[in-house]
Amino acid sequence: MTTTLQTPPTLIPPSRHPHADIIHRLEAGGSMLPDTPENLMQIIGIYKAYAVPMDFYWRDLLYIAEQVFLDPFPFFKYFISQEYLDRPNHYAGDTADLRIWRGRASAHPELLEFMEKGELKKKLPKLLHHLWHDRVNMEFAEECMRAMLWHRHMYAPVNQFDAYLDSDEYKQNADRAIRAYFKKNPVMLGLYKLFPDMFLEKVRELSYYSNLGLFWEVMAPVFFEMSDIYDEGGFKGVPDAMNFLVNGIFAIAGRPIYHHAYIDGECYEIIPKSKGFTWLYEAALPYVEAVFYRTSPFRGTKSYNAQANQVPADQKDFHYGILYADVFPVGTAGIPPTLLMQDMLHFLPPYLVEYYHQHCRGEDDMLVQLGITFQRSMYNVTSAVIQALRTALLYPLDDPNPKHRMANRKFFEAQMDRFLRPEARLRDIQSPDYR
Amino acid sequence: MLSILIWLPIVAALVLALLPSSISGPKVRAIALWGSAGILAYTLFLASQFDLSNPGLQMQEYLPWIEPLGLDYRLGVDGLSLVLLVLNSLLTWIAIFSSSETTERPRLFYGLVLLVSGGVAGAFVAQNLMLFFLLYELELVPFYLLISIWGGEKRGYAAVKFLIYTALSGALILAGFLGLVWFTGSKSFDYSALMGQTLPLGLQVALLVTLLIGFGIKVPLVPFHTWLPDTYVSASAPVAILLGGVLAKLGAYGIFRFCLSLFPDAWALLAPGLATWAAVSILYGATAAIAQKDIKRMVAYSSVGHMGYLLLAGAALTSLSMVGAISQMFAHGVILALLFHLVGVIETKVGTRELDVLNGLLNPIRGLPSVSALLILGGMASAGIPGLVGFIAEFLIFQGSYAVFPVQTLMGVVGTGLTAVYFVILMNRTCFGKLDNAIARFPQVEWSERVPALVLAWIIFLLGIQPNWLVRWIEPTSNALIAAVTTPAETRLAIAPIAKTPDLLLMSSPVSK
């Protein structure tokens, strides 16, 4: 699994790219994140802290897509049923299709404990925990889903999932489900007659709920397993952690992406598995593009004023994802990632808590410190995606043909071009003092 | 007993100075803090003993001292001094609280602070001109040392400038006092003996101008203010609190106690000119503050502007404007102390006072949110936003002065507008915006650093909502002050309707019943 390679310097000349040092590291099989024990400890710790809320996110996303469906007043959409908490993850436990995490298939015990007692450490009715805001910030998961929905045309024509949402076949499937869902509700049926597109668009959104839920169903066990491997001393460095992700991506790439809705116990296949949509192309790559790179401008940092021209007119120029985000204002009004940072705060492993206590303001600015760690870890995940793409589309890193090496180089340079904007945090994460 | 207020701090100062060096700095600070808290408690006790129905001097003390010089130890307190005594004790406590735990040479530092506190208290209660002068001069050297030893950069220059200006101020005041006594042929320097003197008007004007310049340097009034920005900026936060909160009030107190009360005829003659002078001071202070790039300098210039209101109120000389003026002394004292404390905290944490470098301090996690929030409150109080004590004082002054000097009052109103301008600039550059990620790893603000600001903010807020608790002490004295001053008949007629207003304002105060 571990392949640390050295580019023979004679084969092709060094890159002249401003990020040449990072490109050379990628060509040697490394990550965008420097390989230090401190970085490894940080990213693995944060994977663990991210995976626990993620275990809730994917379950609730699927619960909303499949069960809440078109409920016009979804007051309790974050109160997921026991069935969904017990729902076996397809990649963990004894029943797994492809066992990634050696742990259990139902919800993570830390998550269950948090849902029961919350920050208050008190057993209270779910509703009171919710009203006291002692809960998982599910709004963040929905925000990610909406980013994917809104940026949906970005990968055409590679991405088939999007195109399918506009097809007649999809419309018919959705139509059947909508009619079935509202069959006892003449008001909503009447509204559907008047404004069919309104409901159709809502179902497209629900399909993205399902898409993201299925994406995270994979990532949660991956991160749990990485944390376990690290605890056992299995990772020697950051490239190992990246390579685990690369291998995971390939292992899982062909998993199906679908959208089923359950109405009165009957399953409506809005996007059937038989369409052959797969995890890598229809969920993972769009997710990375939409959430890591693009999302939408934070309301607390950019003005949406059209005359001010602060927000690009073209969606492909959006650069507000975690790779570009300014994490220092986390905790302030108008900074969406705060929701996720707050979620991860509850599940930090002890070694990371201790680490944060030794730096900056210790406990008081842990939210910002863990946010920056999270940014580092997502640079590592993005590195894995870039390496996986290179493996899929181009040549091995140790290819003896200089032309092939050059093609790899061009690919890496094109990827690094995206980090030439001043907002990119790639330069910051190279330094251990960025915290 | 008023003597305790003078001698307790001075004795405490001596005790501190003589403490063995085995006692650590933080312990010395704690002793000074408890000592000043005791003095504050005693001051509040005295205030509770104060008889609001008696407009004259209370708690008088008399000891013959050097009879041939006319110098005796005569103390007394009225509403004007009482408010300032409380302010002095409060700010001494705040200043010590706001000082760093690791102040160098703590014995000398806290000793000097307490010495200053005792001297200022004495000057406020002295009823003998020479005694007042002695205690007034007592401030000179301690402040010089406080600035030149514990100040920032350019402290040597600032301290010398302060020393020269203040010494000059002392000389002018002494000349005024001596002239007054010699020309009236009085045997003693007693304040009461000199009240109601009948000197020719020309002589009165000459003496008044001498004293006005003497006190005007200390207040300070434009153009005698040039020592102030350098001194305030070079002084450390606790010293700046004392300088701006207490020492400036000493000058203002001198103007009201001596210039206005001892030379009523000359005062009435010069009043229009004084009002214009005040208006110019206000506008100058505000516009100069707008131009500053250093937040401490801004606050320093704001002080110049705010002191102008006192002169305006004094020139108008209505009972309402007098109440306003004394309220303004107190209000300005606490507001300035709050601002200087916060600026001090920002400087220690961030390491700069530059408007162009500071940014985003309201950030709740990485910034200084509580300090920034209090800074906004302080700025609003200073700019005269209703609900805070600054508004009460300024509104009383405007209401009391408008009938007498409408144009100058309106200029003063424009001045408050400009005050809002530079405080908004300050807030905007300091608190708003985003942190610079390259430098934003500031240390946490400790609770002990927040407490002084919270106490002051609470006072500012409380007295802004319930101004009676401030003006009730002042009203009888200021009425008596106005009554004692023989103003020309036409001025009196003009102010007659306004003089009734305080009764409405003070409906619940026991005095008006």
Instruction: Report the distance separating Cα A298 and Cα A330, nearest Å.
Output: 11
Instruction: Give the gap in angstroms from C-alpha B367 to the nearest C-alpha of chain A.
Output: 9
Nearest by CB to A331, which of B365, B437, B440?
A: B365
User: Model pTM?
Assistant: 0.91
Tokens of A213: 């839920």
Instruction: Report the distance separating Cα B79 and Cα B84, nearest Å.
Output: 9
Whether B434 is in a domain gets the answer yes
Residue A261, H or E segment? strand A259-263
pLDDT for B167 equals 94
Instruction: Report the distance separating Cα B57 and Cα B477, nearest Å.
Output: 9
Rounded to 10 deg, the angle between the A238-252 and A37-63 helix axes is 30
ipTM: 0.90
| Residue A9 pLDDT grade (very low, low, confident, very high; cuts 50, 70, 90) | low
Tokens of B289: 């503050």
User: Does B444 sit within 8 Å of A328, measured CB to CB?
Assistant: no
Helix (H, G, I), strand (E, B) or coil at B449: helix
pLDDT for B507 equals 45
* Cβ partners under 8 Å of residue B280, min gap 6: B222, B308
pLDDT for A10 equals 60
User: Does A361 sit within 8 Å of B443, measured CB to CB?
Assistant: yes
Is the separation of the CB atoms in A240 and A1 below 8 Å?
yes
Instruction: Report the distance separating Cα A113 and Cα A107, nearest Å.
Output: 10
Whether B387 is in a domain gets the answer yes
Instruction: Give the gap in angstroms from C-alpha A4 to the nearest C-alpha of chain B.
Output: 33
- Residues of the domain holding B346: 269-494
pLDDT for B491 equals 44
Contacts with A330 from chain B: Cβ below 8 Å: 365
* Cβ partners under 8 Å of residue A414, min gap 6: none
Contacts with B364 from chain A: Cβ below 8 Å: 331-332
Q: Count of CB contacts below 8 A, A vs B?
A: 37
Whether B154 is in a domain gets the answer no
Nearest by CB to A328, which of B440, B443, B444?
A: B440
Structure-model confidence comparison of residues B492 and A123, the more confident one: A123
Whether B59 is in a domain gets the answer no
Whether B66 is in a domain gets the answer no
Beta bridge partner(s), residue B71: B66
Contacts with A362 from chain B: Cβ below 8 Å: 444
Instruction: Report the distance separating Cα B262 and Cα B180, nearest Å.
Output: 9
Q: Which residue of B has its CA nearest to A423?
A: B437
Name the domain count of chain B: 1
Phi, psi of A262 (to 5 degrees): -110, 110
Residue A177, H or E segment? helix A168-181
Instruction: Report the distance separating Cα A347 and Cα A224, nearest Å.
Output: 12
Nearest to B354 by CA among B425, B294, B298: B294
Q: Which residue ranges of chain B lie beneath pLDDT 50?
A: 488-513
Instruction: Report the distance separating Cα B384 and Cα B393, nearest Å.
Output: 8
Distances (CA, A) of A362 to A348, A356, A371: 14, 6, 14
pLDDT for A6 equals 52
Task: Tell me, yes or no, if A298 comes closer than 8 A to chain B by beta carbon.
Answer: no
Give me the residue spans of the domains in chain A: 19-157+208-258+274-430
Nearest to A18 by CA among A423, A424, A431, A420: A420
Give the sign of the dihedral formed by CA B434, CA B440, CA B441, CA B442: negative
Contacts with B435 from chain A: Cβ below 8 Å: 328-329
Instruction: Report the distance separating Cα A410 and Cα B221, nearest Å.
Output: 71
Mean pLDDT within A397-413: 94
Lowest mean per-residue pLDDT among A7-16, A269-278, B121-130, B296-305:
A7-16
Whether B135 is in a domain gets the answer no
Instruction: Report the distance separating Cα A110 and Cα A58, nearest Å.
Output: 16
Helix, strand, coil percentages, rounded to 5, for chain A: 55, 5, 40
Mean pLDDT within A176-197: 96
* Candidates A368, A372, A433, A434, partner chain B, best to mutate (most B CBs within 10 A): A368
The secondary structure of residue A32, as a DSSP letter, is: S
Tokens of A40: 């490894």
| Cis geometry, peptide bond prior to residue A297 (ω within 30 degrees of 0) | no
Instruction: Report the distance separating Cα B68 and Cα B74, nearest Å.
Output: 15
| Residue A144, pLDDT above cutoff 50 | yes
Whether B369 is in a domain gets the answer yes
Nearest to B275 by CA among B408, B395, B396: B408
Is the separation of the CB atoms in A348 and A370 below 8 Å?
yes
* Cβ partners under 8 Å of residue B223, min gap 6: none
Is the separation of the CB atoms in B85 and B46 below 8 Å?
yes
Whether B208 is in a domain gets the answer no
Residue B5, H or E segment? helix B2-17
